[in-house]
Structure 1
Amino acid sequence: MNAATALVVYAAVVGVAAPRVMTRSAWPHRAPALGAAVWLALMVSFTLATALAASHLATPTEHLHAGLVGLLHACGLGTEAPAPDPTTADRLALALPLAVVLAFAGSFLFHLLRASVVRARHRDRLDKVAVRCDRLRAVVLPHRTPAAYCLPGLRSRVVVSDSAVRLLAEEQLGAVLEHERAHVSGRHHVPLAAAEAFASVFPWVPLARRGREQTAVLLEMIADDRALRSHSHEVVATALYEMAAGRVPKGAFGVSGSTALLRLKRILGPRPAPHPALRGSLASVALTAPLLPLLPLLVACPPVV
């Protein structure tokens, strides 16, 4: 099996089989931060595998070492004799993977900037009608529906409606606001933009659709866990139930939404002590997750004999 075939097979496994395994596994909901990291690592790994496969399909007999040396020569960084003029295949071997990587990077920046613009417009309107509350460390918005959300990024805002302030008990309100602060401090808009960018570049890949959905769910669970550090499960669950009908503006994170029922079951469900085997498995996943994006390089660049 040559490198191009191996990379295509690897990309198929990561793009089709891996998301099925991930969605059927229970551990991502037990360790949502690790689960979100694995989803993003799979996306980066698929992108890199696709880029390297495109390069090897253009020059199937060329070793990756030679391609990198040729690139250094083309940039004037080589110290040896000048390399021969690049052929059309050589140019394609550089242009195709570069196009894949730039498409993903460009889409990521586009989603970040677009969401930033939307949040900035909403923030400007919000500052005209909402009232800053230092006690809550949030802005209170006059609205008849109980709601809470945050606008992450620069000049972040944590927003709660005045009807939610009246409806919720003090501990419930504190749990809701802690949930929103977790989104802001964790910069959750960045991994979500990465997942949306991947889905835009590779919309036909199961990893794109499921990765975007699961990343959004896991980010909400991370914020729930932040609230659970200082509030009981009952307080967080009742606050989530009371706020389930609230609407979240585009570009914002909110405690309510379509994932509320799933998160309620997770919060109120049994939480048995993790089995030693599970702890060992999660530790293994945590150690190997950062290496996932590098696996395509090992496939594309086997040892030279």
Structure 2
Amino acid sequence: MLLTAYLLALLAVALAWPVPLALSRARWTSRSPFAAMVLWQSIALAGGLSMIGAMAVYGLEPLGENLVAALRRAVQIVLSNQTSDELHFWHLFALCAAALLGVHLVFTLLLTYARIVTQRRRHRELLALLSSPSGALERTVVINHPAPVAYCLPGGSRSVTVLSDGLMETLAPEELDAVVRHERAHLTQRHHLLLWAFEAWRAALPWLPTSRLARGAVSSLIEMLADDVARRSTPDPVLVRAIALVAVGGGGDGVPASAVPAAVDEGEDVDVAARLSRLLTPRPPLPAAATGLILAASALLLAVPTALLLLPGLG
């Protein structure tokens, strides 16, 4: 099992820095944002599993030939209140570190969710006071604000799209329709759940390059996915004008605001220039074979640490 622990540790290191750094610099991601999103999720999940698994396997290594046998032996020791001469200081230290990291990740995920729910409830209460229903658009409210503003507020059956009257005055009807389609795509594709998971990952391990790079990349990718939905019924030049007008009118904050105020982090800007460049100089989507390879690599990333943990130990 000692070799298994070393392999998991090497995988954790690779997924903590060189792999996410290379992916953040890749140029193909804008051609297939869905595949890139899946790959980012696999990197985060496999990295966390490898980190915790490496410490757990190292700590349990003296108790069995594989993780299942070692766990069974550890449970017997705890239930029978026995002492184990096999476990030394560094084994106990690794086990404690694995347990603490696992609890920390789960606790941060739940804490982030609680914070998001609280923010959304307060936001919804403010909207009830400061907004009025849009007569022309279903499940859409309008706030009295001169700057062009558009975002979505998730909430299941209470989800709404929020527009400012400044936006409605600035955009032509077809441009406004593109913005609304963009925002509703965030709701239908549940982008706020992705942002929640990656924000929790960044909050739990802010020193880890993966968490910072992944959060920024995911923010951009969900904008591209929503743009692609809007492009199905809106010509690219119309969508470009809508994005540019809102970004300039809103002070360059990156609008449509995407679900950021409704999700987790209102202070993180999205790269509007990258979105506009993608629309102004469109590149063909990745071939089906390339997309399949990326999805297969994503599945393999999750399968490798899982197999190392469940199969008989190496060494």
Is the TM value for this pair above 0.5? yes
2:224–2:275 CA contact under 8 A, matched in 1: yes
1:65 — aligned with what? 68
Q: Which amino acid aligns with 2:182?
A: H
| Deviation of the 1:191 alpha carbon | 1.1
Q: Which amino acid aligns with 2:189?
A: G
Match of 2:279 among 264, 267, 284: 267
1:79 — aligned with what? none
2:220–2:270 CA contact under 8 A, matched in 1: no
Q: Which amino acid aligns with 2:284?
A: P
Runs of 4+ aligned residues of structure 1 deviating over 4 Å after TM superposition are: 71-76, 82-95, 247-250
Q: Which amino acid aligns with 2:58?
A: L
2:290 — aligned with what? 281
| Deviation of the 1:65 alpha carbon | 2.5
1:38 — aligned with what? 39
1:19-67 deviations in whole A, cap 9, x for unaligned? Answer: 1221222222111122112112111111111111111232334431312
Paired residue total: 296
Q: Which amino acid aligns with 1:180?
A: E
1:46-92 deviations in whole A, cap 9, x for unaligned? Answer: 1111111111232334431312333665798xxxxx89666766876
Q: Which amino acid aligns with 1:251?
A: P
1:52 — aligned with what? 53
Q: Which runs of 5+ in 2 are unaligned?
A: none
Q: Which runs of 5+ in 1 are unaligned?
A: 77-81
Q: Distance in 2 between matches of 1:293 and 1:167?
A: 47
Matches within 5 A, 1:188-227: 188-227=191-230
TM-score (norm: length of structure 2): 0.84
Q: Distance in 2 between matches of 1:64 and 1:83?
A: 21
Q: Distance in 2 between matches of 1:250 and 1:272?
A: 28
1:252 — aligned with what? 262
Indicate how the Cα distance of structure 1 residues 304 and 241 shifts in structure 2: closer, same or farther if over 3 A, else same: closer
1:11–1:49 CA contact under 8 A, matched in 2: yes
CA RMSD for the aligned pairs?
Answer: 2.8
Indicate how the Cα distance of structure 1 residues 301 and 84 shifts in structure 2: closer, same or farther if over 3 A, else same: farther
Indicate how the Cα distance of structure 1 residues 10 and 259 shifts in structure 2: closer, same or farther if over 3 A, else same: same
Is 2:186 aligned against 1:176? no
Indicate how the Cα distance of structure 1 residues 296 and 216 shifts in structure 2: closer, same or farther if over 3 A, else same: same
Is 2:239 aligned against 1:230? no
| Deviation of the 1:293 alpha carbon | 2.5
